[in-house]
Amino acid sequence: MSIDERFLEHYALMCKAVSKPDRLRIINLLDNKKFNVGQMQKKLDISLSSLSNHLNDMYKMGVLGKEKEGKSVFYYLINPDLVDGISNMQKIIRVMFEGRSS
């Protein structure tokens, strides 16, 4: 069974979008919610410059959407099912590494 090359490119891009712990924390925070940058920075304790870079990259990759409300820009997950996908991967990782020594 062959896998479509375009699908593989999208899959790799999605993996890149969630490849850093801070990005996973951002996705978890935005699960069915919207936050602006200031709110996220306070909740996640990430430097403003790092947070802005992650948000910009994830927006460009199509993981996040944003909308302006007054003077604030609020970010949200384009596809909330991403949280379920990450949760499933966490279960797989726990099983794979359960019982292994550090």
Which pLDDT belongs to residue 102? 55
Mean pLDDT of the chain: 91
Residue range 4-19: mean pLDDT, rounded: 88
Q: Which two tokens stand for residue 51?
A: 């947070």
Residue 101 has pLDDT above 70, yes or no: no
pTM of the model: 0.83
Q: Which among 78, 63, 81 has a CA at the least distance from the CA of 20?
A: 63
E-only strand ranges, 1-102: 35-36, 64-69, 72-77
Name every residue whose Cβ is closer than 8 Å to that of residue 100 and which is 6 or more positions away in sequence.
none
Query: What are the residue ranges spanned by the domains of the chain?
Result: 22-97
Does domain 22-97 correspond to CATH entry 1.10.10.10? yes
CA–CA separation, 73 and 87 (whole Å): 27
